[in-house]
Chains A and B, each alone.
Chain A
Amino acid sequence: MLSRVAKNIYWLARYLERAEDTARMVNVNTHLLLDLPTIGRTFGWEPMITIMGSNKLFYELHQEHTEDNVMNFLLDDSRNSSSIHSSLAQARENMRTTREIFPKEAWEQLNNLYLFVKEEEANGLTKSNRYDFLKQVILGCQQFTGILMGAMSHDAAYNFFLLGSYLERADMTSRTLDVRSANLFSQGSEESNIKLSPFYNIQWMSVLKSLTAYQMYRQHVRTRVKGADVLKFLLQDHEFPRSVFFCLGMVENRLSGLPKNDSPRRTLSHLQRQVQAANVRELAYQGLHKFIDDLQIGFGEVHKQIAGNYFGEVVG
C-alpha cells in the first residue's frame, strides 16, 4: 500500500481514538464534579486540560478554567487541534483522501458523525445535553471501528488503523493516570485518605470510568477500588483493552503483519518489559510521574520508527 495512504490511515485512527477518549473523559468528569462538594475540592476542570497536554494553548485563549471555557476548548474549539470537533474534522479529512481503501459504510458513518458533531456541538456545551451528546460521539466512534472490524479485510490498511488506535489509546491511558494520580496520591497515605475523605473512592472510580474500566476492574480485580490496584490494572492488565500493556501488545501484534518491522518491535518489547516490571505499589507514592514520562518518550520513539519505516518520513 502507498506510504501516503498508510500515513493518513494511521492518523485517521489516532484522531478518532482521541475524539472518543476525550468524550469519555469529559463525560465521566462532568458526572464526578456533580458528586464532589464545591468547597475545598481538589479536583476541578483544569486537570482535563492537563491530560490533553494543552495548558499552554488553553491559557493563551482563556483566563480561567471555568466549566464553560474548558468545555468549549475540549469540545468545539477549532483552534484546539485536539478538541472533539477538530479531531473528527481531521479524521474525516484523512479519510477523505483514503476513502477508496475503506468500506463505503465506514465513510458514511464517519461523515455522519462529523455532521452530527458540527450540528449539535452547542448542545454539548450545556450541562443537561452534554451526556447525550458525548454518548453519541463515543457510540459513533465505536460503530466506526466496529464496521472496520466486521467489514474490512484485515490487511495492511487495517493494521495501520489499529497501530494508530492502540498507540493513541496507550498514550491517553498513561496521560489520564499521570494527571489524575498525581492529584490523588499527593493527599497522603491510602488508608488515611479513605478515612478522611468520603470522596476519595469515587475519584478513583472516576479514573476507571473515564477509561471505561470500572466494570471490568470489579470483575477481574475483585477488591474494592484502591488507588494502587487501579493503577496496576490500568498499567499491567493483560486482558483489559485500554490498559497500557494490552495496547502495546496490540501495536506489537499489528506490526508483526507488516514488513520492515524490526526497529519498532524492539522498542515495543522494551516498553512492554518496562511496564510489566514496574512495582506499582511503590510507584504510586514515588516516581510515577517520571515512570510515565519515560513511557511516553517510548511511545514517541515507536511513532517515529513507524513514520520512518513506512511513511517515508525522515527520522528526526
Chain B
Amino acid sequence: MWVIFKLPSPPAPLPTGVGRQAAPVVFSPLPLGEGPGVRGNISPTLHHYPLFHQHHINHSSITHTGNPQMSIHWNQYNATCFHDELIQDSGEPRLAAAALCNYLSSLTDEELKKRKNAAELAILVMGITFTVYSEGTNIDRAWPFDIIPRIISKKEWERTEAGLVQRMTALNMFIQDLYSEQRIIKDGLFPIELLQNSKNFRPQCVGIRPPHRTWAHICGSDLVRDRDGTLYVLEDNLRVPSGVSYMLENRSVMKRTFPELFENQNIQPVDDYPSKLFDMLASISPRTEERPQVVVLTPGIYNSAYFEHSYLAQNMGAELVEGPDLVVGDNDCVYMRDIQGLKRVDVIYRRVDDLFLDPEVFESDSLLGVRGLMRAWRKGKVALANAPGAGVADDKVVYSYVPDIIKYYLDQDPIIPNVETYRCLDPKQRSHVLANLDKMVVKPANESGGYGMLVGPHASTEEHAKFAELIQNDPRNYIAQPALTLSTVPTLCDDHVEPRHVDLRPFILQSDSTYVTMGGLTRVALRKGSLVVNSSQGGGSKDTWIINTEDP
C-alpha cells in the first residue's frame, strides 16, 4: 500500500519570531488614542481592549507622555550624570540611535520580555559560554548578554579606526626596535630600567626579525568614553587578547532576536573577521604554499577562552591543536600528529602565554607547550602569532609612553588620546597618586582581567592603605589614572531600562596590512554603578552597531 506522508515538520523554530506572535491578538483591535466616541460604536466584546489601556493608565503613578502600555519610556531614562551612548542629555536619542530607540519604545512589555528570553535561549542553545576558574564540574557558564545594542556612527568610527591603525603600527615598530637596535632607548625617550624590569620582555627574542617586522599581529585595545564625550584608549592587549568570538556571536544572537532592525538600517557587518584573521595568518607563513597549514594552539578545554579558540579554528577552517598534538622534528620544523602520520605546520595562532610555549626555553614543566618551538620559530620554520615577547608593549607602564612612541616612530600626534596616567616609579607622580588614592584607579603593570586593581572612589579605607603599601614596595609595577566617568548605554533591568557603564574592545589585525573590526566587543558592567566590565567579575556584553547615517 502506498502511503503519502506529510512533509516532515521543521524542527522547533528559532527563537526569532517568538515575540511577534502575540502582538496582533492583544493590541491591534483598536488604534491607540481613539476616544469614547469610537468605542460607543463597537461591539461589547471588544470593549475590554480600550478599557484595558485605561486601566493601565489609571494605575500608573507617573505621567506618561508616550503610549501608556509601552514598556520603555525614554523620558524616564536618566543618564544625565554620564555621557550616554544612545540618549542625549536632552532625553532625545542620538541620530544614529533614533531608529532603535523608537523601535524599542514601540514594543510592549510582553514583547520586550519575549525578545530578552529569546536571546537568552539562543545563547544557551548556541552554547555560547565562558569558563570561570574553580567552579568544580560546572565550568561552563552562559554568556551574560543585554539585548540593547551600543551604537556608534560610522563617521566617528572611521576616525577611531585610523587612530587604532596608527597606534598598532607604532607599537609594532617599538617592539621591533626593543628587540634589535633599541634606538628609542639610545635616544633617551624610553628609560632602560623599564625594560630591565619588564616582566614581558623576553631576552630570548633579541635579534629576531619576524615577517613584516610584525610582533603583535592581533591586538585588542580597550576604549572608554569619559563624561565629556572623548574616547580614550585605556589599554592595549598584545599578548593573547580574547573576546572577538563573543563580538561575532553577539551579532548573530541579535540577528535572531531583532531581524527587522537589521532589514531597515544600515548596520555595518562584522562577520568577515575570521577570514581576515586567516588571511593575516597565511601572510606570515614561512612557506609559500597555496594554503598554508594554520593551527590554533589552545591550552585546552579548561582555559577560560576555550570557546573562542574553538570558535575561531572552526570559522577559519584551521586545526585546533593542544601542545601534545605538536612535535618539533630534528629539522626544526613543527609537525602535528595526524591519523596519517606527521604533518608540517606553517603558522601557529597561539593562545598559550609566552612562558608556557616551550619547556626548552621557558617554564620547564609546562605541559601546554611544545618542546623546541622557540628553536623552530627562531630559524623561521614556523610563524607564531602573536610573536613571543610582543607583550613587552602591553605593560601598563609602557602604555603611558605610547603617545611619545607614536610621535617618535611616526612623527604624528596620536589620533586617539591616552587616559592621563601617573607612573608610580616617578617620585613626584607617586606622591600625587598616594595623596589622591580615593580619586584614582590603580593598576598593576602586568595583570589582565581586572584582577589586582583598586577603584579608588569605590574602595574602603583599608583597601586604600593596602594599595599605598603595595605601591611603595614596588612602584615600577603600578600606574594610576584618574577615575573616569565611563559612558553608559541603556540596559534592560527587569522591566525597564537603566544606564550601565560600558567600554569597547575593537580588535586589530596587522601584518603587511592592517584591519580593524567594525566596532568591537562592548562590555557592560551589569551591576548598578559598577565600573568593572570583565566577564570574570560580573560583566556582560552588548552588540555594537556601527551605523551609517549618511546613506539615504
**Which of A2, A101, A258, A259 makes the CB contact (< 8 A) with B321?**
A2
Contact residues of A between 225 and 266, Cβ < 8 Å to B = 258-260
**Which of B125, B300, B318, B338 makes the CB contact (< 8 A) with A3?**
B338
Q: Given that A99-B314, A259-B340 are contacting pairs, would A112 and B125 also be in contact in the complex, using a CB cutoff of 8 Å?
A: yes
**Which of A101, A108, A258 makes the CB contact (< 8 A) with B339?**
A258
A112 to chain B, nearest CB (A): 6
Verify A156–B127 contact, CB threshold 8 A: no
The residue on B at minimum CB distance from A93 is: B301
A111 within 8 A of B: yes
Verify B337–A3 contact, CB threshold 8 A: yes
**Which of A4, A97, A99, A260 makes the CB contact (< 8 A) with B340?**
A260
B124 within 8 A of A: yes
B126 within 8 A of A: yes
Verify A4–B314 contact, CB threshold 8 A: no
Verify B319–A2 contact, CB threshold 8 A: yes
The residue on B at minimum CB distance from A99 is: B310
Verify B125–A97 contact, CB threshold 8 A: no
| A108→B122 CA distance, assembly (Å) | 10
A312 within 8 A of B: yes
Contact residues of B between 126 and 160, Cβ < 8 Å to A = 126-127
B-chain residues with CB within 8 Å of residue A96 when the two chains form the complex: 301, 306, 310
| A108→B324 CA distance, assembly (Å) | 28
| A260→B339 CA distance, assembly (Å) | 9
Verify A259–B339 contact, CB threshold 8 A: yes
A148 to chain B, nearest CB (A): 15
B-chain residues with CB within 8 Å of residue A93 when the two chains form the complex: 301
B325 within 8 A of A: yes
Q: Given that A99-B310, A100-B313 are contacting pairs, would A2 and B125 also be in contact in the complex, using a CB cutoff of 8 Å?
A: no
The residue on A at minimum CB distance from B320 is: A100
Taken residue by residue from 286 to 326, chain B's Cβ proximity to chain A (1 for < 8 Å, 0 otherwise) reads as: 00000000000000110000100011011000111110110
A107 within 8 A of B: yes
Verify B127–A111 contact, CB threshold 8 A: yes
Verify B11–A143 contact, CB threshold 8 A: yes
Taken residue by residue from 183 to 208, chain B's Cβ proximity to chain A (1 for < 8 Å, 0 otherwise) reads as: 00000000000000000000000000
| A107→B140 CA distance, assembly (Å) | 15
Contact residues of A between 56 and 109, Cβ < 8 Å to B = 93, 96-97, 99-101, 104, 107-108
| A143→B311 CA distance, assembly (Å) | 23
Verify B313–A310 contact, CB threshold 8 A: no
A115 within 8 A of B: yes
The residue on B at minimum CB distance from A3 is: B337
A47 to chain B, nearest CB (A): 32
Verify A100–B339 contact, CB threshold 8 A: no
Please report the number of residue pairs spanning A and B whose Cβ atoms sit closer than 8 angstroms.
57
| A6→B124 CA distance, assembly (Å) | 27
A-side interface mostly: helix
Verify B314–A2 contact, CB threshold 8 A: no
A-chain residues with CB within 8 Å of residue B306 when the two chains form the complex: 96
Q: Given that A96-B301, A100-B310, A100-B313 are contacting pairs, would A6 and B339 also be in contact in the complex, using a CB cutoff of 8 Å?
A: yes
Taken residue by residue from 323 to 364, chain B's Cβ proximity to chain A (1 for < 8 Å, 0 otherwise) reads as: 011000000000011111000000000000000000000000
Verify B310–A156 contact, CB threshold 8 A: no
Verify A108–B337 contact, CB threshold 8 A: no
| A4→B127 CA distance, assembly (Å) | 22
| A258→B339 CA distance, assembly (Å) | 9
A-chain residues with CB within 8 Å of residue B11 when the two chains form the complex: 143
Q: Given that A2-B321, A100-B314 are contacting pairs, would A108 and B126 also be in contact in the complex, using a CB cutoff of 8 Å?
A: yes
B-chain residues with CB within 8 Å of residue A143 when the two chains form the complex: 11
B-chain residues with CB within 8 Å of residue A4 when the two chains form the complex: 322, 324-325, 337
The residue on B at minimum CB distance from A309 is: B339
Verify A2–B127 contact, CB threshold 8 A: no
Verify A97–B301 contact, CB threshold 8 A: yes
| A6→B311 CA distance, assembly (Å) | 18
A314 within 8 A of B: no
Verify B336–A2 contact, CB threshold 8 A: yes
A-chain residues with CB within 8 Å of residue B319 when the two chains form the complex: 1-2, 5
Q: Given that A2-B337, A3-B337, A312-B337 are contacting pairs, would A108 and B127 also be in contact in the complex, using a CB cutoff of 8 Å?
A: yes
Question: Which of the listed residues A5, A100, A104 has the most CB atoms from chain B within 10 Å of its own CB?
Answer: A100
Verify A310–B314 contact, CB threshold 8 A: no
Verify A1–B322 contact, CB threshold 8 A: no
Question: Which of the listed residues B300, B310, B322, B324 has the most CB atoms from chain A within 10 Å of its own CB?
Answer: B310
A-chain residues with CB within 8 Å of residue B313 when the two chains form the complex: 100
| A3→B343 CA distance, assembly (Å) | 11
B-chain residues with CB within 8 Å of residue A99 when the two chains form the complex: 310-311, 314
Taken residue by residue from 46 to 63, chain B's Cβ proximity to chain A (1 for < 8 Å, 0 otherwise) reads as: 000000000000000000
| A226→B74 CA distance, assembly (Å) | 75
The residue on A at minimum CB distance from B252 is: A104
Verify B127–A3 contact, CB threshold 8 A: no
**Which of B124, B310, B338 makes the CB contact (< 8 A) with A115?**
B124
Verify A156–B125 contact, CB threshold 8 A: no
A-chain residues with CB within 8 Å of residue B324 when the two chains form the complex: 4
A-chain residues with CB within 8 Å of residue B127 when the two chains form the complex: 107-108, 111
| A112→B122 CA distance, assembly (Å) | 11
Verify B337–A111 contact, CB threshold 8 A: no
B-chain residues with CB within 8 Å of residue A97 when the two chains form the complex: 300-301, 310
B-chain residues with CB within 8 Å of residue A258 when the two chains form the complex: 339
The residue on B at minimum CB distance from A103 is: B314
| A56→B125 CA distance, assembly (Å) | 37
B325 to chain A, nearest CB (A): 5
Contact residues of A between 1 and 36, Cβ < 8 Å to B = 1-6
Q: Given that A99-B310, A143-B11, A312-B337 are contacting pairs, would A3 and B301 also be in contact in the complex, using a CB cutoff of 8 Å?
A: no
| A3→B43 CA distance, assembly (Å) | 73
A311 to chain B, nearest CB (A): 8
A-chain residues with CB within 8 Å of residue B124 when the two chains form the complex: 115
B-chain residues with CB within 8 Å of residue A104 when the two chains form the complex: 126, 314
Taken residue by residue from 97 to 136, chain A's Cβ proximity to chain B (1 for < 8 Å, 0 otherwise) reads as: 1011100100110011001000000000000000000000
A-chain residues with CB within 8 Å of residue B320 when the two chains form the complex: 5, 100
| A131→B115 CA distance, assembly (Å) | 33
Q: Given that A99-B310, A99-B314, A100-B313 are contacting pairs, would A1 and B338 also be in contact in the complex, using a CB cutoff of 8 Å?
A: yes
Verify A2–B310 contact, CB threshold 8 A: no
| A162→B319 CA distance, assembly (Å) | 21
B-chain residues with CB within 8 Å of residue A156 when the two chains form the complex: 339
The residue on A at minimum CB distance from B11 is: A143
A-chain residues with CB within 8 Å of residue B325 when the two chains form the complex: 2-4
| A4→B318 CA distance, assembly (Å) | 15
| A170→B450 CA distance, assembly (Å) | 53
A248 to chain B, nearest CB (A): 21
The residue on A at minimum CB distance from B126 is: A108
| A93→B313 CA distance, assembly (Å) | 18
The residue on B at minimum CB distance from A102 is: B314
Contacts A/B (CB < 8 Å), 14 sampled = A2-B319, A2-B321, A2-B336, A2-B337, A2-B339, A3-B337, A4-B324, A4-B325, A93-B301, A96-B301, A97-B300, A97-B301, A100-B320, A112-B125
Binding site for B on A (CB under 8 A): 1-6, 93, 96-97, 99-101, 104, 107-108, 111-112, 115, 143, 156, 258-260, 310, 312
**20 extra interchain contacts, Cβ-Cβ under 8 A, other than A1-B338, A2-B321, A99-B310?**
A2-B319, A2-B336, A2-B337, A2-B338, A2-B339, A3-B339, A4-B324, A93-B301, A96-B310, A99-B311, A99-B314, A100-B311, A100-B318, A104-B314, A108-B125, A108-B126, A111-B125, A111-B127, A112-B125, A260-B339
A-B pairs with the 9 shortest C-beta distances? Answer: A100-B314, A100-B313, A111-B127, A310-B339, A99-B310, A3-B337, A259-B340, A6-B339, A100-B320
